[in-house]
Amino acid sequence: MAELRMNEKKQTNRGLRSLQWLWGEYSVVIAFIIIFIVATIMNDRFLYLDNQINILMQVSTIGIIALGMTVVMLSGGIDLSVGSVLAMVGVFSVMAMNASGSIFVGVLTALSVGALTGVINGLLVSKGKIASFIATLGMMAAARSIALYYADGGSMSGEVEGFTAISNTEIGMVDIPIIIFLALTALVYVLMQKTRFGRYVYALGSNEKAALLSAIRVDRIKIGVYTFCSLLVGVAAIIETSRLNSISSSSSGNLYELDAIAAVIIGGTRMTGGKGKVIGTFFGVLLLGVLNNMMNLLNISPHLQGLVKGLIIIIAVFFQKRD
């Protein structure tokens, strides 16, 4: 009898450990499924194909930024400048495109300015030994100021025909920004899971001193992650600017850093780095998109959406600390 109870206890413990592992590995996917089902029940318009495409379109810009933020946070850093950099990149790309009359020049400018900004962030963090929070906070203020200066505090519009096609063209029934977001998700997944660079980023985030002792060139990895993040911000800026054929130096990119960080944390990436998955960020982005869409369909004030995001971040970090 005692042996039977002992076996039952062991089976129960194994079951609990299995559930804990399942929740630890796939909590964001489970949460997404639950919220998706709740949204379906609460509003019958939610499942319309047009609405689902609209959700993906709305999250594509933030999703691309969140992918770059994931790489930075896995390394143990953070980038608060992404929203302001998006506005600055947008302003410079429109200026270059209008001056040259070439969409290619505008796109190349966006990617170049984005990458250069990331290099500066990386140098400040790696060579300057400045905490990433402070370095990117300074860049956030500087980039917004530069955007405001060159746009005279207003908006800049594209004057080249065909630029809006980047964000407003469909392939089949899917908009190009969605395809870019999905393609970049796959690319970043491969980068982080299948390459030496990805392994080094995880090692750096787990223990920087151990990474140094393992002959990993930590400074190069730091510069690389910030450059990559800002390069993706450049891609997001192209999509954002092309969508309306204009960029606002004062409002474009506002609080994008909050949305990106929220998606990354909800996706299971630790604030301290070293643990997290790109696929988690992907579902974190979708989860926020579904929440926003559900609140819009229910006519909930948009001013409360920030409250919801803030609560979700706090809850996600709380559960991370309990792992």
Q: How far is CA 167 from CA 156, 244, 274, in A?
A: 17, 9, 34
From CA 261, how far away is CA 72, in angstroms rounded?
10
**pLDDT tens, position by position, 36-90:** 998 899 888 888 989 999 999 999 999 999 999 999 999 999 999 999 999 999 9
Delineate the domains of the chain, giving CATH numbers in brackets. Answer: 37-322 (1.10.3470)
**pLDDT tens, position by position, 71-81:** 999 999 999 99
What 8-state DSSP symbol labels residue 89?
H
- Give me 201's structure tokens: 């980023």
Residue 305's pLDDT is 75
CA angle (147 as vertex; 141, 149 as ends), nearest 5 = 100
Instruction: List phi, psi (to 5°) of 239.
Output: -65, -45
Nearest residue to 113 via CA among 145, 143, 73: 143
pTM (2 d.p.):
0.91
One-letter amino acid identity for 243?
R
Least confident of 102-111, 298-307, 314-323: 314-323
Instruction: List phi, psi (to 5°) of 171.
Output: -110, 105
Average pLDDT over all residues of the chain: 89
Q: How confident is the model at residue 94 (pLDDT cuts 50, 70, 90)?
A: very high
Q: How confident is the model at residue 298 (pLDDT cuts 50, 70, 90)?
A: confident
Q: What percent of the chain has pLDDT over 70?
A: 90
Q: How confident is the model at residue 100 (pLDDT cuts 50, 70, 90)?
A: very high
Least confident of 178-182, 213-217, 226-230, 303-307: 303-307
Q: Residue 157, Cα to own-chain centre: how many angstroms?
A: 26
Number of other CB atoms surrounding residue 162 within 10 Å? 10
Paired strand residues for 174: 171
Residue 217's pLDDT is 94
From CA 250, how far away is CA 297, in angstroms rounded?
28
What's the whole-number mean pLDDT along residues 161-175? 89
Residue 313's pLDDT is 74
pLDDT at 11 over 70: no
From CA 54, how far away is CA 72, in angstroms rounded?
28
From CA 115, how far away is CA 117, in angstroms rounded?
5
